[in-house]
Chains A and B, each alone.
Chain A
């Protein structure tokens, strides 16, 4: 046991004495959580709109004014031909164009039907979709207000409630996702480098001839990084609550326990990668390429998993970040207890045991 602690101490000194790296390891998650927490948002705000109004009457002016007044849009360009709309789109200035035909108000009042065209720049289909829907809703509202004066019979009155996030803040969705992303990458990369580095610099020989068993060598290597990661998670949680105003509605203790579990999963992935790699360079690239994009895409916070083709849905089950994201969302935002997340927890535990077992089995006690 004493040998073991000496080993832990050795690892700790490696980290502690390389102050620059330590600053990077602790500073990186802090900067990222703040930056992404504020900047990653798909709320549309003040999207630029061009108007091609061939009618120019009270009704069209009222609708334009309402579009301009909503927080989603600001009407910036008035154009006088379809060609001009194309030109404005190509310059990348506007996202949406609203076209009113001639005699809009007349048609609306006399013939009871009038047309309006919404042209979206669908080169970003996601935003285009959202914008046309919002604009259609504003026009719809206007129409209903026109109708209201008539006191219609047989009216269904819908009441709407937004649960968990009434202000529709993006941070509620993104903060748990960013937590999963940052923890996974930082933890896995740190450990994968730590082991390969000894190989590359030749100090691995010394470790391999030491009386410590491979199992213990690996555990000793990860413990200091576990400590750094727990410090990271503490920083992330404090920032989420006090800077990004994302509440912790559930149990803080449960959240921390689950985070530690996820960190251990990430650390074991790091060890596994380091077993296969010969140089620090290949270890770093392996962890980066196999973790960054898959974690980003398959955890479900950016792209809904249920939209993916089924083989990818199956793959997404192998991404630990997906389960952790579900857990954080349930505990932090929905305020649920352990009974709601036992399945996810079990999956993470199983993954960790499997990965650790695999990396210990593959730990080579001879240099090639």
Chain B
């Protein structure tokens, strides 16, 4: 135990005496946490609308006004012909083009039917899908208005309609930050934790100081623990700072308990740090170690379900996410903060991460050799 105490003393001193570590560990993540969630708003609004009105009638005017006043669309381009509107789309000035052909009003009133053409830039499929869904809904309502205007009541009873009511549970104001802030905090913790750990042992290798440790009477387990504990403590401090920012800057107050978050984080960090240390025992240079750690954490983060839902992934990719601790952490954060889940609700995730922690750290201890 005394050995461990001295090792910890050495590690803490080494970390805290490096001024760049303070910047990397505390300032950089907090700045990111303050800025980035504001950028991560996925709601589809402000769709740029291009209009080609070849009818120039009262009806076409009303329709365009109705679409613009819905709040989803911004009238950005008003072209005389479709090729011109298409050019505007090429320059990203229009996401959706509404073409109102000539004689629209006349055909609708006297021939009982008139066509409209909608073209959407579908490179971003979700944006195109929702944008066209909105515009079609508005056109349908408009159609309804026209009918009630022309048909006297006795002759025609209003058609049967289904009213769809929406409820958004757990996040009724659809506040994206409630979801993104904890998620970005998880990402930052993961990046910092695993990469710091990945660099640590290999740095001693590269600078040659590992020799001294190899010839000293330090047990392998103590050595790894000595490397693990300081980062674990520091990462928990970063987590606390992050949760404080989430609470006081973004107003995110978990429905569940902070204790649940801390219990899970404590285990999670062991797993992430263990991964870093494991890589560190294999690598020969800091560059190798960092690149691999970066590569793995980037995959973990991008495939964690934070940016795109896991259910949408192909099956084989979903299987990969079973081995992704970040995905579990994101799920847990979402459950505890927004749904108020307790320890019993998250026990599966907790056991999974505990499994990773034990597995990775044991492997790291076994793989660390006291000879070069």
A: residues with CB less than 8 A from B are 18, 20-21, 24-25, 28, 31-32, 35-36, 38-48, 86, 89-92, 95, 108-109, 112-130, 132-137, 139-140, 142-143, 146-147, 150, 152-166, 168-170, 172-173, 185, 189, 193, 197, 200-201, 277-282, 284-286, 288-290, 292-294, 296-298, 302-304, 306-309, 312, 315-316, 326, 329-330, 333-334, 336, 340
Contacts and interface: CB of A to CB of B under 8 A. Distances in A.
Nearest to A330: B90
User: Main SS of chain A's interface residues?
Assistant: helix
A120 B339 contact: no
Contact of A132 (B39, B42, B166): B166
Contact of B157 (A112, A159, A288): A112
Contacts of A280: 199, 286-287, 290
Given A114-B163, A157-B115, A279-B20, A42 B308 contact: yes
Contacts of B341: 90
A108 B160 contact: yes
B263 interface: no
B42 A108 contact: no
Contacts of A201: 206
A282 B146 contact: no
Interface in B268-319: 284-288, 290-292, 294-295, 298-299, 302-303, 307-309, 311-314, 317
A324 to B, nearest CB: 15
Contact of A312 (B38, B42, B125, B317): B38
A46 B32 contact: no
B311 A173 contact: no
B218 interface: no
Contacts of B127: 304
Q: Which of A115, A158, A173, A193 lies at the interface centre, i.e. has the most chain B CB atoms within 10 A of its CB?
A: A158
Contact of A90 (B113, B142, B339): B339
A160 to B, nearest CB: 5
A108 B162 contact: yes
B122 to A, nearest CB: 4
A197 B187 contact: no
Contact of A43 (B91, B195, B312): B312
Interface string B15-46: 00010110110001100100110111111111
Nearest to B24: A285
A114 B164 CA distance: 9
Contact of B164 (A43, A89, A136, A303): A136
Contacts of A281: 20, 199, 203, 286, 290
Contacts of A285: 24, 28, 192, 195
A353 to B, nearest CB: 25
Interface in B136-178: 136-137, 139-140, 142-143, 146-147, 150-151, 157-172, 174-176, 178
A302 B147 CA distance: 41
Given A143-B160, A146-B160, A159 B123 contact: no
A120 B298 contact: no
Contacts of B170: 89, 121-123
Contact of B169 (A47, A109, A120, A162): A120
19 contacts: A32-B298, A38-B317, A42-B309, A44-B309, A48-B311, A120-B167, A125-B174, A125-B179, A129-B130, A130-B129, A154-B146, A156-B146, A159-B117, A163-B120, A173-B123, A281-B203, A285-B28, A286-B24, A289-B29
User: Which of A46, A115, A155, A309 has the most chain B CB atoms closer than 10 A to its own CB?
Assistant: A155
Interface in B348-372: none
Specify which of A92, A95, A154, A312 lies most central, judged by the most chain B CB atoms within 10 Å of its CB.
Answer: A154
Contact of A21 (B151, B199, B288): B288
Interface string B98-114: 00000000001100111
B211 interface: no
B147 A39 contact: no
Interface stretch (B1-9, B223-231, B238-246, B330-338): B330-338
A118 B166 contact: yes
Contacts of B42: 125-126, 302-304, 307
Contacts of A130: 126, 129-130
A158 B136 CA distance: 8
Contacts of B320: 35, 39
A136 B165 CA distance: 9
Nearest to B172: A122
B311 A46 contact: yes
Given A293-B187, A308-B41, A41 B117 contact: no
Nearest to B37: A297
B133 interface: yes
Given A40-B308, A118-B167, A293-B187, 7 more contacts: A45-B311, A89-B169, A140-B140, A143-B162, A154-B146, A284-B294, A303-B39
A307 B166 CA distance: 23
A115 B169 contact: no
Contacts of B54: none
A40 B302 contact: yes
Given A28-B295, A153-B112, A156-B142, A125 B43 contact: yes
Nearest to B59: A156
The 3 closest A-B pairs by CB, nearest first: A168-B125, A122-B168, A39-B317
Nearest to B91: A340
A169 B125 contact: yes
B46 A307 contact: yes
A197 B319 CA distance: 38
B121 A293 contact: no
Given A44-B309, A133-B130, A285-B28, A109 B160 contact: yes
Contacts of A169: 125
Given A89-B169, A163-B122, A147 B160 contact: yes
Candidate in B40, B172, B338 with the most chain A CB atoms within 10 angstroms: B40
Given A90-B345, A330-B90, A193 B307 contact: no
B235 to A, nearest CB: 14
Contact of B314 (A38, A168, A173): A38
B153 to A, nearest CB: 13
A338 B336 CA distance: 50
B303 A35 contact: yes
Contacts of B175: 125
A266 B243 CA distance: 33
A281 B19 CA distance: 12
A304 B291 CA distance: 29
Nearest to B341: A90
B213 interface: no
A115 B21 CA distance: 59
